[in-house]
Amino acid sequence: MRTEILAVDRENPGEGPIRRAAGIIRGGGLVVFPTETVYGLGADALSPEAVRKIFQAKGRPADNPLIVHVEDKEAAALVGQLDERSRRLMDLFWPGPLTLVIRAAGGIPKEVTGGLDTVAVRMPAHPVAISLIKSSGVPIAAPSANRSGRPSPTTAGAVLEDLKGRVELILDAGPTAVGVESTVLDVTGDHPVLLRPGGVSLEDLDEAAGPVLLPTGSEGEGRSPGTRYRHYAPSLPVILVEAGKARTERPHLPGQGARVAYVGMSPPPAGVMAVACFTSVEEYAKGLFSALRELERSGAEVILAELPMREGVGLAVRDRLARAASGAEGPLDHWP
Ligand code: TXA
Ligand code: MG
């Protein structure tokens, strides 16, 4: 399959490219499209055959459910059951990087939900994504547009690295704004449970609908199937240091004279061969995944990564770094 890339303007996508992409979705094919978080690999969420193609293209385990992308709250009400709390969260945070796990409506294929009775739904804050959903006339199921286990793509170039020849069309609207994926919040129980930290902060959710619980151990594993799998992994080992400790605490590196690349917000320690340094935690989130892809091409043998503080989007950056650093598959043994 030849992969075509169409450049689109974020604010003014133009009818041609959107119509083309919507035609592919309606025909049961795959389209990569931009959201405010990362690029998504989309298919008609109501078609089991189309959704199966997503899993094939990504090499994704079939029991890891997908997020359904909708154009507004009314469309979300057709995908699953909304209650007062979920409606309020939608009013406050949509469009935006908040995914809500709610009871699934009948008619949502089990390919989308991984066989669960819940469904994840979100309205992205990106004019290209919204135009595509509207023009397709169906909700769009989409995971991040990377090969399973790779860092999520924040540019069309990163999508191409992973999915060239596996998808018909990529809509390229430039680098994404948030850089880490949406926050996934389970609102099916008495208290909301944070299944994945992301673009909307825990502090803001706590204020709006708290207390928000953090999943622990096996509970988290059961509730958010995606957290079972190794994620966001560059091909090099990643070693973590706490904020501000990269120069003082000699991290344990594999062997003397190892070629080290560094990513973080503090100035890099002496002697590293490649650096990605960010001036704010928002910039860190935005640049993290492309930095990991870049540093693995630098010739380094290991990536030293500085964990930001747990505040705001820092919690999501910590989570992605901890997953990149945990070499083995499986859940993290503690919240990072
Ligand atoms: O920002 C994002 O969320 C991006 C863009 C493309 O929207 N999408 C994304 O999708 O990151 P994906 O498939 O890479 O991650 C979806 C996460 C997984 O951890 C999955 O297990 C979880 O959401 N999830 C989906 N449906 C669920 C459900 N019914 N119950 C619990 N977790 C669910
Ligand atoms: Mg993903």
Query: Residue 258: which pLDDT band, with cuts at 50, 70 and 90?
Result: confident
Q: How does pLDDT run across 143-188, given as a tens digit for each residue? A: 999 999 899 999 999 999 999 999 999 999 999 999 999 999 999 9
SS3 (DSSP) at 99:
strand
Query: Residue 336: which pLDDT band, with cuts at 50, 70 and 90?
Result: low
Over residues 19-46, the mean pLDDT reads 98
Over residues 49-60, the mean pLDDT reads 96
Tell me which of 60, 118, 184 to substitute to probe ligand 1's pocket, judged by most ligand atoms within 8 Å of the beta carbon: 184
Residue 145 pLDDT: 98
- pLDDT for residue 269 is more than 60: yes
User: pTM (2 decimals)?
Assistant: 0.94
CA distance 158 to 145: 9
High-pLDDT (> 70) share of the chain, %: 89
- Let me know if 267 is exposed, middle or buried by CB neighbors in 10 A (0-12, 13-18, 19+): exposed
Residue 124 pLDDT: 98
Over residues 84-107, the mean pLDDT reads 97
Residue 218 pLDDT: 47
Residue 248 pLDDT: 73
Distance 97 CA to ligand 1 centre (A): 11
Nearest Cα residue to atom 15 of ligand 1 = 143
The DSSP 8-state label assigned to residue 152 in this structure reads P
Nearest Cα residue to atom 12 of ligand 1 = 143
Is 38 close to ligand 1, i.e. is its CB under 6 Å away?
A: yes
The domains located in the chain, with CATH, are: 4-209 (3.90.870.10), 238-326 (3.40.50.11030)
Least confident of 59-68, 212-221, 224-233: 224-233
CA distance 259 to 248: 19
Which ligand lies nearest the alpha carbon of 122? 1
Between the alpha carbon of residue 81 and those of residues 61, 73, 74, 99, 119, the distances in Å are 26, 11, 11, 14, 9
- pLDDT for residue 256 is more than 70: no
Residue 62 pLDDT: 86
Least confident of 57-61, 183-187, 201-205: 57-61
Query: Residue 44: which pLDDT band, with cuts at 50, 70 and 90?
Result: very high
AA letter at 177: A
> What's the mean per-residue pLDDT of the chain?
91
Residue 329 pLDDT: 42
- Let me know if 257 is exposed, middle or buried by CB neighbors in 10 A (0-12, 13-18, 19+): exposed
Residue 228 pLDDT: 55
Residue 331 pLDDT: 44
Is 18 close to ligand 1, i.e. is its CB under 6 Å away?
A: no
Residue 242, φ and ψ in degrees, nearest 5:
-70, 160
